[in-house]
């Protein structure tokens, strides 16, 4: 790739190769008598990561209750049993006048399952070890079991990222985006600002422009601490949030060994979020206001602006963290 900067200096990048990804399956198959929706977190597994869990949520259709599931029957790909199970009961409907404002997901009964990360990777790799995957592949996972005497099933996909796809220090930008990443230890690290890019000594002409799928295939550095400091931060949406409760790690399937140790001046480039007040899940556009330990849905832009909220204050978190907050009243 040849590029030219504002001063007409021409640069030529090193030659790189990559393998395109197989298309993801977007329509889950109908399995058994009851079709369920399945969501996995994280959606990408990097074999270098040492996280302990993969969390899978199973959402049941109207008329079925997760409390009626025979838990011993629940399997992933007819083989793997969950190591931890949490049952979410169906939320009662509000009065008819409020039905149109209620989120349909709140009325769904669900199973929240935790599977051993290493066991899942081994299963999807056909019994191979987690470190033997050489490239990025998309694998289907199927969750099945019985509910109320009937069989159920549903599917989703997980991407597994292998070692050595791109060398450390590679700079990447998606062809349809402006965010720049650097590959370090087999992971992508978001460079939050142009100033940070330049102060870290990177060169604009060496940025590779690649399809978004290539960048999506890499797990991101989401845990950081500065050299000589024990304070750990979650990096999300270009901001850092101090983690004071160790239980957050287990709740999100994170691991202490995944913490990236960086120079203090690098961590300083991320704006700090002292307290969470506005959040949304990484795979959902709904914004919530956190108050008194409860989450309150902000249903419209007018409701958002009425309270003089700022869009840049929204913190993107995993759904597993969002569900820890109790439901509060909807903001008008």
Identify whether 236 is part of a domain.
no
Q: Any idea which of 124-138, 248-262, 280-294 has the lowest mean pLDDT?
A: 124-138
319 vs 324: CA distance, rounded Å: 9
Q: What is the mean pLDDT of residues 254-270?
A: 82
Same structural domain, 39 and 155: yes
Identify whether 262 is part of a domain.
no
> How much is the pLDDT for 131?
43
Look-up: residue for tokens 């979020």? 273
30 vs 149: CA distance, rounded Å: 17
Sequence-distant (6+) residues with CB within 8 A of 253 are 41, 42, 51, 52, 53, 54, 55, 114, 117, 320
Same structural domain, 147 and 182: no
Q: What is the mean pLDDT of residues 244-258?
A: 66
Sequence-distant (6+) residues with CB within 8 A of 174 are 209, 210, 211, 212, 214, 215
Strand partners for 147: 69, 150
> How much is the pLDDT for 156?
93
Same structural domain, 156 and 175: no
Final residue belonging to a domain, choices 220, 241, 257: 220
Range of the domain at 174: 165-220
279 vs 297: CA distance, rounded Å: 10
Composition of the chain by helix, strand, coil, percent to 5: 20, 35, 45
Identify whether 293 is part of a domain.
yes
**CATH code (residue 95):** 2.60.40
Same structural domain, 215 and 312: no
Identify whether 298 is part of a domain.
yes
Identify whether 307 is part of a domain.
yes
Sequence-distant (6+) residues with CB within 8 A of 180 are 171, 172, 173, 190, 191, 197, 207
Eight-class DSSP state of 249: H
Same structural domain, 187 and 155: no
Final residue belonging to a domain, choices 161, 183, 207: 161
Q: Any idea which of 1-5, 99-103, 273-277 has the lowest mean pLDDT?
A: 99-103
Same structural domain, 59 and 174: no
Q: How far is CA 246 from CA 52, 231, 232, 322, in A?
A: 14, 11, 10, 16
Same structural domain, 148 and 185: no
Same structural domain, 122 and 204: no
Sequence-distant (6+) residues with CB within 8 A of 128 are 122
Q: Give the DSSP H/E element, type plus range, for residue 233.
A: strand 233-236
Identify whether 19 is part of a domain.
no
Final residue belonging to a domain, choices 200, 220, 240: 220
> How much is the pLDDT for 171?
93
Predicted confidence band of residue 83 (pLDDT cuts 50, 70, 90):
very high
Same structural domain, 115 and 186: no
Q: Any idea which of 74-83, 143-152, 200-209, 317-326 has the lowest mean pLDDT?
A: 317-326
Same structural domain, 115 and 180: no
Same structural domain, 283 and 315: yes
> How much is the pLDDT for 298?
92
pLDDT single digits (tens) 106-145? 567 999 999 998 889 888 876 544 444 445 678 899 999 9
Domains identified in the chain, total number: 3
Identify whether 232 is part of a domain.
no
CB 152 within 8 A of CB 142: no
91-112 burial code (b ≥16 CB/10 A, e <16): eeeeeeeeeeeeeeeeebbbbb
Counting residues of the chain whose pLDDT is more than 70, the rounded percentage is: 72
> How much is the pLDDT for 20?
54
């Amino acid at each position: 790739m040849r590029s030219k900067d504002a001063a007409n200096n021409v640069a030529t990048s090193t030659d790189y190769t990559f393998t395109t990804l197989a298309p993801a399956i977007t329509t889950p198959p109908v399995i058994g008598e009851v079709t369920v929706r399945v969501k996995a977190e994280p959606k990408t597994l990097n074999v270098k990561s040492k996280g302990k869990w993969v969390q899978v949520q199973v959402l049941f259709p109207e008329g079925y209750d997760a409390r009626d599931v025979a838990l011993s029957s629940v399997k992933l790909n007819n083989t793997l049993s969950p190591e931890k199970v949490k049952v979410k009961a169906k939320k009662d409907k509000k009065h008819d006048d409020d039905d149109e404002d209620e989120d349909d997901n709140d009325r769904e009964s669900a199973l929240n399952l935790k599977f051993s990360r290493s066991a899942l990777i081994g299963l999807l790799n056909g019994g191979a070890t987690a470190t033997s995957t050489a490239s990025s592949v998309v694998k289907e996972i199927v969750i099945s079991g019985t509910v109320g005497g009937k069989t159920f099933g549903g599917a989703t996909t997980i991407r597994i990222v292998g070692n050595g796809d791109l060398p450390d220090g590679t700079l990447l930008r998606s062809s349809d985006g402006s965010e720049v990443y650097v590959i370090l230890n087999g992971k992508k690290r978001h460079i939050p600002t142009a100033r940070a890019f330049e102060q870290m000594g990177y060169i604009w002409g060496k940025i590779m422009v690649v399809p978004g799928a290539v960048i999506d295939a890499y797990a991101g550095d989401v845990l950081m601490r500065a050299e000589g400091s024990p304070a750990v931060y979650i990096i999300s949406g270009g901001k850092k949030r101090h983690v004071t409760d160790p239980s957050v790690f287990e709740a999100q399937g994170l691991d202490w060994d995944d913490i990236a140790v960086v120079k203090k001046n690098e961590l300083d480039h991320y704006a700090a979020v002292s307290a969470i007040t506005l959040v949304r899940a990484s795979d959902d556009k709904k914004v919530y206001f956190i108050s008194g330990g409860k989450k309150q849905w902000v249903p419209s832009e007018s409701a958002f602006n009425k309270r003089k909220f700022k869009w840049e204050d929204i913190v993107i978190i995993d759904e597993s963290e969002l569900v820890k907050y109790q439901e509060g009243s909807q903001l008008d």
